[in-house]
Amino acid sequence: MNANEAARSVRVTVWNENIHETRGDELVARIYPDGIHGAIAGGLTDLLGADADIRVALMSQPENGLPQYVVDETDVLLWWGHIGHDQVSDEVVDRVQAAVHAGMGILVLHSGHFSKIFKRLMGSSCSLKWRNDGERELVWTVAPTHPIAEGVPSPILIPEQEMYGEYFDIPTPDETVFLSTFAGGEVFRSGVTYTRGLGKVFYFSPGDQDFPVYHHADIHRVLANAVRWAAPVAPRRQLTADQHPLGWFAA
């Protein structure tokens, strides 16, 4: 990669709590031998190539893997968490929220809907209905002109997945890109976008630790598209409370 190519690279950090993979869960270890973060980072590397500089951050690392310098060097942060939400420090949540408001993009994945950072950005409980019976999920594109949907088939067929269903307690999205239906009859707003300050937010639900969803080529395509969409178009700048229309720490 030459200097000009490096200057154009999107700096991506894939954050994972990495608990299931390290606590002796044989099913998860078999599905994700390199960790959920490894499967996600590998898919992004295949599709983005030299257009992205991808790093991995884990909750067990100092400052939950997100010290200030890592956040400062991140254009788009992907967040996967499930059973360790309460182990993320409030200081790290403050740091990530400030970065989003200043222009960093964030992709919150699957059970990250209950993460501290997503609930902080949404200003709501982010609760939903769920059932983990390994049902078929169809992910329908409902905003076909959105950049995140480019080249994505409709529907994406996921043979087995944890069911997430409505009501999903989130603010009205800027745009709903994907809507999922399940074999049990439920529907779910599975791909939604927001703007918070200068930063873009994308929540995408497909991707459970018990199923190989993050090895799915179409899921990789969605995430790669979302990285391109969420990447800031200008250098980050810190907003003051009077510049932000909702106040600095408002959702």
Convert the pLDDT of each residue in 105-128 to its tens digit. Answer: 999 999 999 999 999 999 999 999
List of residues 6+ apart from 150 with CB closer than 8 A: 225
Distance of CA 184 to the CA centre of its chain: 25
Looking at every residue in the chain, the average pLDDT score rounds to 91
User: Residues of 7-37 as b/e, b for ≥16 C-beta within 10 angstroms?
Assistant: eebbbbbbbbbbbbbeeeeeebeebbeebbb
> 3-state DSSP call for residue 201?
strand
Give the Cα separation of 245 and 251 in Å (integer).
11
pLDDT of residue 235: 74
- pLDDT exceeds 50 at position 45: yes
Q: How far apart are CA 185 and CA 69, in angstroms?
A: 45
Which pLDDT does position 177 carry in this prediction? 98
Domains and CATH numbers, the chain: 3-123+190-230 (3.40.50.880)
Instruction: State if pTM tops 0.95.
Output: no
* Largest CA-CA distance found in the chain, in angstroms, rounded: 52
Rounded Cα–Cα distance for residues 232 and 204 (Å): 19
Residue 161 or 25, more confident: 161
pLDDT band at 6 (very low <50, low <70, confident <90, very high): very low
